[in-house]
Structure 1
Amino acid sequence: MDVSEITIPGDTPGTEWRLPVLRFQGRDPKAPKVYIQAALHAGELPGTVALHFLCERLRQAESEGGIASDITIVPQANPIGAAQSHFGDLQGRFDLGSRTNFNRDFPLISVADRATLLDDLDDYPATDRLKRQLLHMALGADLVLDLHCDDESLQYAYIDEAFWPEAADLATALEMEAVLLSDGESSAFEEAVGFAWKYEVPGERRSRLPGRLSVTVELRGKRDVDPMLAKQDADGLWRFLAARGIVGEEKVLPAAFSGPAVPLDNVEILRAPEGGAVLFHRNIGQRIAEGELLATIVSRPGQPGGSIDLHAPQDGLVLTRTSDRLVRRRGDLMKIACDGPSSALRKAGTLEN
């Protein structure tokens, strides 16, 4: 294993950030290259600890000549966000300087222009330099995994329809409970990678990308940072790499993915009509029926009519739930994966900011 650091100068005198990069060398230069990163949202740590245990297995495999392709691991992809605390609370999702989500505004370029990402880096603020260097590394690979987590959540993934159903082996290996098929219309990291591949020939859009993969994996919830879960996730990543012939002596073909795979238009987002204390009547992982009571918002405690009941808009699977119990007006409470499209209008791109 080779360990190096990318230094990112800060935007004020005397500050800089260091980004550790771990590289494992494969024996077959023609094998598909792999790039895996975690904690782009700096407070989302299940992926970081999973990669810690995965790298133990990769070091052993590398010493035995058991890795076919080059593998690049960035276990803590956002040192800038990791250093942002506000009154003791980590603020790792948004850059406090620009108010931009760390997983948005990645450059949308053709892979043919990959080298330009590193041109004139000194002209960019630190967050943009970070994003350009992460994207540059990822575009040197064929299989790209961006490890995140949700709030209270099942294990699921956002996968561009251009990679489905080929990517079902990843869903099976990681024992995902759902897949959300994205439209590839945002500037999030995994979609910027997919964009670059789709427009490899400028002006020509490819709708299928066989042999390639760029995906956002949601490794359950923020509090699911646990040694057993981390080792379980590392084993799942290993199974995926083995199934693709990247590690191990033989390919391991997992069983078919049996969970729901639905487009983003089929995701119902339950939102709070008023602020207040939320009482949940259903938990993540439960199947629900249309009209079923899901949550109660206590907006004026002790007063007549001081609470509001929220019901399921259609049948579905409760995918995520907020961990907050004091919620704001229009705050997201639940994501529900459904068989049919939501009646709520949705812009192309991501479900949330």
Structure 2
Amino acid sequence: MKTELIKFAGDVPGNEIELRVLRFSGSDEQAASAYLQSSLHGGELPGQAALHFLVPMLQKAADEGRIKGNITLVPQANPVASNQWQAYQHQGRFDTFSAVNFNRAFPLLPDFDTSDLPQPDAPEALIKRLKAALLRLALPHDIVLDLHCDDESENYLYIAEDFVEDMKDLAVALNCTAILAWDTTADAAFEEACAHPVLQIPADKRNMKRRAVTTVEFRGLSDVYAEQGAEDAAGLYKFLVHRGVVEDASVQLNLDYQGLVTPLTHVEMIRAPQGGMVFFHVKPGDVVSEGAKLATIVTLPGNPEGDIVLTAPQAGRILTRRSLRYLRRGDDVLKLLGDKPSAVIKRAGALEA
């Protein structure tokens, strides 16, 4: 394994960050290559834990000459987000300067040519240079996995509709209960920016069985345990073996995916009509019928007449819920995966800010 440090000057004198890149060289030029990054939202650690346990597995494979395709890992993809703290609380989802989600506003390139993207020393804002560097690292690879987590959640994937059928192997490897299929997010997340050049290739000329581009949601923010990290690493390793990036005759992958494939239009984003304390009546993984009680928001403590009961707009599976129990008006409360399109008109763009 080779370690590369990419250094970026800060936006004001006296500040800089560095991006740590781990590389394993493959022995077969025809093998698929893979790029995995985690913690684009600095405090989302389950994916970072998975890579922590994956590296020794890959090092063993490298020592035994079993790395076939080039592999690039970036365990801490966003040092800016990792260092954002306020009043002892980590703030890693949004850039505190612009208030823009770090996983938005990536360049959507028409092809795989990254030569026009700003270099680390360009006269551009730091976050723009960092995003350019991540794309420059990722786009040469056939497989791009952006490892995230939700608030409280089951494992699931975001996948562009054109990739879904050929990427069910990843869902099986990672024990995902759902795939959320998108046709456009309109917000240029990292995944979309990596899928975009592929989707510009005529459909009859794409090798979709070789490619994989997705956002992986590894459960919830607090699900950071050595045992789970090792299990997630084993799933990633199994997928890399199945795709021929790593050779390991002892690893087999069952390709029978039993989970849901849900278009984003079928995802019910249940939101708080008023602020207050929330009691959940369901948890991720529960299957509910239409009209079932999902949560109660207490708006006037001590006065039950102020309680607001949120119910299921259609039957479906609970995928995620908030970990905070105090909500503001309009906050996302949970995601429900339905069998039909939501009757609620969603805002353009991604499901969440």
Provide closer, same or farther for how the CA distance between residues 112 and 54 of structure 1 changes in structure 2, counting only shifts above 3 A. closer
Count of aligned pairs between the two proteins: 350
Is 1:136 the counterpart of 2:168? The answer is: no
Q: 2:297 maps to what in 1?
A: 297
Provide closer, same or farther for how the CA distance between residues 25 and 304 of structure 1 changes in structure 2, counting only shifts above 3 A. closer
Poorly superposed stretches of 4+, deviation over 3 Å: 118-121, 204-209
**Percent identical residues:** 46
Superposition deviation, residue 206 in structure 1: 7.8
Kept in 2, the 8 Å contact 1:274–1:328? The answer is yes
Q: Secondary structure at the match of 1:318?
A: strand
Range 120-129 or range 318-327, more displaced: 120-129
Q: Secondary structure at the match of 2:350?
A: coil
Kept in 2, the 8 Å contact 1:243–1:254? The answer is no
Q: 1:230 maps to what in 2?
A: 229
Distance 1:317 1:299 in 2: 27
Distance 2:203 2:115 in 1: 21
CA RMSD of aligned residues (A): 1.6
Amino acid in the other structure paired with 1:299:
T
Provide closer, same or farther for how the CA distance between residues 311 and 21 of structure 1 changes in structure 2, counting only shifts above 3 A. same
Distance 1:120 1:227 in 2: 34
Provide closer, same or farther for how the CA distance between residues 209 and 95 of structure 1 changes in structure 2, counting only shifts above 3 A. farther
Q: 1:154 maps to what in 2?
A: 154
Superposition deviation, residue 112 in structure 1: 3.9
Q: Secondary structure at the match of 2:334?
A: strand
Superposition deviation, residue 245 in structure 1: 1.3
Superposition deviation, residue 119 in structure 1: 5.2
TM-score, reference length from structure 2: 0.96
Superposition deviation, residue 208 in structure 1: 5.9
The 5-angstrom pairing of residues 47-58 of structure 1 reads 47-58=47-58
Amino acid in the other structure paired with 1:214:
V
Q: 2:127 maps to what in 1?
A: 127
Q: Secondary structure at the match of 1:115?
A: coil
Amino acid in the other structure paired with 1:246:
V
Kept in 2, the 8 Å contact 1:183–1:348? The answer is no
Q: 2:195 maps to what in 1?
A: 194
Distance 2:50 2:239 in 1: 14
Is 1:29 the counterpart of 2:29? The answer is: yes
Q: Secondary structure at the match of 1:235?
A: helix
After superposition, the C-alpha distances for 1:247-271 in whole angstroms (9 at most, x for unaligned) are: 1244734231100111000100111
Kept in 1, the 8 Å contact 2:173–2:253? The answer is no
Amino acid in the other structure paired with 1:252:
Q
Provide closer, same or farther for how the CA distance between residues 349 and 252 of structure 1 changes in structure 2, counting only shifts above 3 A. farther
Amino acid in the other structure paired with 1:243:
H
Amino acid in the other structure paired with 2:242:
A
Range 268-277 or range 244-253, more displaced: 244-253
The 5-angstrom pairing of residues 1-353 of structure 1 reads 1-118=1-118, 122-186=122-186, 187-200=188-201, 210=208, 211-250=210-249, 252-303=252-303, 305-353=305-353
Superposition deviation, residue 345 in structure 1: 1.4
Superposition deviation, residue 79 in structure 1: 0.2
Distance 2:206 2:334 in 1: 31
Amino acid in the other structure paired with 1:92:
G
Q: Secondary structure at the match of 2:107?
A: coil
Distance 1:298 1:104 in 2: 33
Distance 1:253 1:185 in 2: 31
Amino acid in the other structure paired with 2:227:
M
Superposition deviation, residue 182 in structure 1: 1.3
Q: Secondary structure at the match of 1:162?
A: helix
Q: Secondary structure at the match of 1:336?
A: strand
Amino acid in the other structure paired with 1:84:
Q
Distance 1:120 1:79 in 2: 14
TM-score, reference length from structure 1: 0.96
Distance 1:345 1:121 in 2: 43
Kept in 2, the 8 Å contact 1:41–1:81? The answer is yes
Distance 1:173 1:273 in 2: 38
Range 338-347 or range 281-290, more displaced: 338-347
Structure 2 stretches lacking a partner, 5+ long? none
Distance 1:267 1:103 in 2: 20
Kept in 2, the 8 Å contact 1:36–1:147? The answer is yes
Amino acid in the other structure paired with 2:308:
I
Distance 2:41 2:204 in 1: 29
Superposition deviation, residue 304 in structure 1: 5.4
Kept in 1, the 8 Å contact 2:168–2:255? The answer is no
Distance 1:215 1:160 in 2: 8
Kept in 2, the 8 Å contact 1:163–1:208? The answer is no
Range 176-185 or range 1-10, more displaced: 176-185
Superposition deviation, residue 301 in structure 1: 1.4
